[in-house]
C-alpha cells in the first residue's frame, strides 16, 4: 500500500522539489502552502507523515504539529529548519516532533527519515491493535464466563466481529446467553458509546410491530396523539437487537428487509424517509435458513441479517463450566446480599454435575443465586432444587461410588431427554452401543419401548 506524505511549505519551489523526490521513491504526495490549508487537507485524508517548514507566515510548523497531534498524536511530523532554528527544532522534538531536517536538505537523508517515520508509525498502529485486542479478550473473559473450548470459540468470534459493522445472527437454546453476547458485540466495538436497544419480537403485538420499530406520526392511528420515534431511530449510530426474531410477522419481515437495504425508515403515517445507521443483531433458538425453506421466514431477509453467525453451545456441552459459572454467580449474589460465601459440599457438586440444565445458564444462575441467599436453610438442598435424588450416604462415599452414581445419573438423564432412543443416547454420550448396554445392565436402567408402555434394555 502506497504511503501518503503531506508537504507544507510557503515556498512553492521547495514543495515541488520535495514532492518530486518523494514521488520518485514511490510515495503519494499532497501539499499545502500554509498551516490552515494543511489542516483542511489533513481532515480530508489523514497522511502517514507530515513534512512542514518551521517558519511560515501566520501559524508556524510547531503550531501545525500541535493541531495535528490534537487529532492524532501518532502522526509523525518532520520539521524543515534553517540553521539558526536548530535549537527550536530540538525543543519541538521534546513536544512530539519526529525529527527535523536542515535546509538545504539532503534528498537521500529525507527519504531515510520518511521511511523510518512510516515504519515507526506502522509499529505503533500494530501495538495499539494488539493492546486493544488483549484488552478486548480480558474484558470478554469477565463478560462471557467459561473455560471450555466451546465457549472459548464464542469469545474468539465475538472479539473478531466486534470490530466490524456486519449484521450478526446469534443462535442457541433458551438461556444460553444470546443477549449477553449481543451486548458484548456492541460494548467492545466502535459503536460502544452509542445506544444499544433490545426488542423482544415475541412480546410485541402484531398490530403495534410497525410503530414499535419504525415510529409513527401524530394521528397515524387511533390513540396516536403525538409523534414517536421507533427503535431504529432510537438506536441510530448504535446497535439494535431483535430477539426471538423468528416471531416477526411475515408482512413486517418485508418492511424490515427494505429498511436494511435502503438504510432509511418511514414512520407510520409519514412519507418522509429518515436516514439511519444501525447495526442489527438478531437472536433466535431456531435455524432461520431451515425456516426459510419451510416458508416460515423470508430467505432474502435471512441473508441480509446473516453477515455472520455465532452459535452458542448449550450448557451441557460446555465441559467443566458448570462449577465455574455456579461459583461466579453465587459469589456475586452473596456479595450483593452482603452474605458470606458458602463453599459447596461434595454432594452438592455431584448434584450440579449430574443435572442436564435444560434451562442452560439462566437456570444455573437462578440456582446459584438461591443458594447464595441461603435457601438451603429453608429446607431446599441443591439436589432438591434440581429434582435430583443422590445415592443415600453419598456424602461419605468413596470416589468410585461417586463416579458410578454420577455415571448412572448421566445415562438416566440422557435416556429421558432423548425419549429412550438408544441411537441418540449413544451419540449424545459418545460411547459405543455395547458399552451403553453393559452400563445400563450394571445400573439396572431400562428404556421405554415406544408405544408399548413397557421397558427394555438396549
Could you list the pLDDT tens digit for every one of the 458 residues in the chain? 788 999 999 989 999 999 999 999 899 999 999 999 999 999 988 899 999 998 898 899 989 999 999 988 889 999 988 766 667 777 888 888 888 888 888 889 999 999 999 888 887 777 666 656 656 666 788 889 888 889 999 999 999 999 889 999 999 999 999 999 999 999 999 999 999 999 999 999 888 888 899 988 876 666 667 788 899 999 999 999 999 999 999 989 999 999 999 999 998 888 889 999 999 999 999 999 998 888 889 999 999 999 999 999 999 888 788 988 998 899 899 999 898 888 777 777 778 888 889 999 999 999 999 888 876 544 456 766 676 554 444 455 566 666 776 677 778 777 877 778 888 888 888 889 889 888 888 888 876 554 434 344 44
Q: Which of 194, 234, 192, 195 is nearest to 213 (CA)?
A: 234
Any idea which fold 4-125 has? Answer: Rossmann fold (3.40.50)
Long-range Cβ contact pairs of 405-410 (< 8 A, separation 24 or more): 405/350, 405/354, 406/350, 406/353, 406/354, 407/439, 407/443, 408/439, 408/443, 408/445, 409/354, 410/354
Q: In whole angstroms, what is the distance from residue 53 CA to residue 142 CA?
A: 50
Q: Per-domain residue ranges for the chain?
A: 4-125, 144-313, 317-456
pLDDT of residue 399: 63
For every residue of 322-388, DSSP letters joined together read HHHHHHHHHHHHHHHTT----PPPHHHHHHHHH---TTHHHHHHHHHHHHHTTGGGGT--HHHHTT-
pLDDT of residue 218: 75
The grid cell for 358 is 435444560
pLDDT of residue 383: 66
pLDDT of residue 138: 67
Q: In whole angstroms, what is the distance from residue 383 CA to residue 349 CA?
A: 9
pLDDT of residue 356: 85
Q: How many CA atoms lie within 13 A of 133 on its CB side?
A: 10
Q: In whole angstroms, what is the distance from residue 196 CA to residue 220 CA?
A: 27
Instruction: Give the other-Cβ count within 10 Å of 210's Cβ.
Output: 22
For every residue of 376-426, DSSP letters joined together read GGGT--HHHHTT--PPTTGGG--HHHHHHHHHHHHHHHHHHHTTT-HHHHH
Q: In whole angstroms, what is the distance from residue 282 CA to residue 286 CA?
A: 11
Instruction: Give the other-Cβ count within 10 Å of 5's Cβ.
Output: 24
Q: Which CATH class is domain 144-313?
A: alpha beta
Q: In whole angstroms, what is the distance from residue 122 CA to residue 403 CA?
A: 56
The grid cell for 113 is 527519515
Do 386 and 409 form a contact (C-beta atoms < 8 A)?
Answer: no
Asked whether this chain's domains 4-125 and 144-313 adopt the same fold, the reply is yes
**β-pairing, 49-53 with 4-8?**
parallel
pLDDT of residue 274: 92
Amino acid at each position: 500500500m502506497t504511503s501518503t506524505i503531506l508537504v507544507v511549505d510557503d515556498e512553492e519551489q521547495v514543495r515541488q522539489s520535495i514532492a518530486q523526490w518523494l514521488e520518485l521513491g514511490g510515495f503519494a504526495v499532497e501539499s499545502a502552502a500554509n498551516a490552515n490549508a494543511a489542516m483542511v487537507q489533513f481532515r480530508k485524508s489523514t497522511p502517514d507523515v507530515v513534512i512542514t517548514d518551521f517558519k511560515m507566515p501566520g501559524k508556524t510548523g510547531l503550531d501545525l504539529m500541535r493541531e495535528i497531534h490534537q487529532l492524532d498524536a501518532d502522526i509523525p511530523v518532520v520539521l524543515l529548519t534553517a540553521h539558526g532554528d536548530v535549537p527550536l527544532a530540538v525543543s519541538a522534538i521534546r513536544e512530539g516532533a519526529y525529527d527535523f531536517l536542515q535546509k538545504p536538505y539532503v534528498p537521500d537523508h529525507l527519504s531515510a527519515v520518511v521511511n523510518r517515520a512510516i515504519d515507526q508509525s506502522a509499529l505503533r498502529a500494530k501495538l495499539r491493535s494488539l493492546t486493544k485486542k488483549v484488552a478486548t479478550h480480558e474484558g470478554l473473559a469477565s463478560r462471557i464466563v467459561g473455560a471450555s473450548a466451546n465457549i472459548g470459540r464464542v469469545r474468539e468470534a465475538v472479539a473478531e466481529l466486534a470490530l466490524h459493522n456486519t449484521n450478526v445472527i446469534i443462535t442457541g437454546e433458551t438461556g444460553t446467553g444470546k443477549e449477553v453476547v449481543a451486548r458484548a458485540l456492541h460494548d467492545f466495538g466502535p459503536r460502544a458509546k452509542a445506544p444499544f436497544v433490545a426488542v423482544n419480537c415475541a412480546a410485541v403485538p402484531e398490530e403495534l410491530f410497525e410503530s414499535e420499530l419504525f415510529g409513527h406520526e401524530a394521528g397515524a392511528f387511533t390513540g396516536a396523539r403525538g409523534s414517536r420515534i421507533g427503535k431504529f431511530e432510537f438506536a441510530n449510530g448504535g446497535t439494535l437487537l431483535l430477539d426471538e426474531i423468528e416471531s416477526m410477522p411475515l408482512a413486517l419481515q418485508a418492511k424490515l428487509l427494505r429498511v436494511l437495504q435502503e438504510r432509511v425508515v418511514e414512520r407510520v403515517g409519514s412519507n418522509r424517509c429518515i436516514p439511519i445507521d444501525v447495526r442489527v443483531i438478531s437472536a433466535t433458538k431456531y435455524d432461520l435458513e431451515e425456516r426459510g425453506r419451510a416458508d416460515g421466514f423470508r430467505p432474502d431477509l435471512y441473508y441480509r441479517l446473516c453477515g455472520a453467525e455465532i452459535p452458542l453451545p448449550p450448557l451441557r456441552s460446555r465441559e467443566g463450566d458448570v462449577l465455574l459459572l455456579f461459583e461466579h454467580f453465587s459469589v456475586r449474589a452473596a456479595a450483593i446480599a452482603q452474605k458470606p460465601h458458602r463453599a459447596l459440599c461434595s454432594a452438592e457438586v455431584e448434584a450440579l454435575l449430574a443435572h442436564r440444565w435444560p434451562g442452560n445458564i439462566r437456570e444455573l444462575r437462578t440456582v446459584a443465586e438461591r443458594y447464595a441467599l441461603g435457601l438451603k436453610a429453608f429446607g431446599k438442598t441443591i439436589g432438591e432444587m434440581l429434582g435430583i435424588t443422590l445415592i443415600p450416604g453419598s456424602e461419605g462415599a468413596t470416589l468410585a461410588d461417586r463416579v458410578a452414581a454420577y455415571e448412572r445419573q448421566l445415562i438416566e438423564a440422557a435416556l429421558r431427554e432423548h425419549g429412550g432412543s438408544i441411537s441418540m443416547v449413544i451419540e449424545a454420550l459418545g460411547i459405543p452401543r455395547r458399552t451403553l448396554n453393559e452400563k445400563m445392565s450394571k445400573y439396572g436402567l431400562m428404556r421405554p419401548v415406544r408405544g408399548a408402555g413397557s421397558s427394555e434394555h438396549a
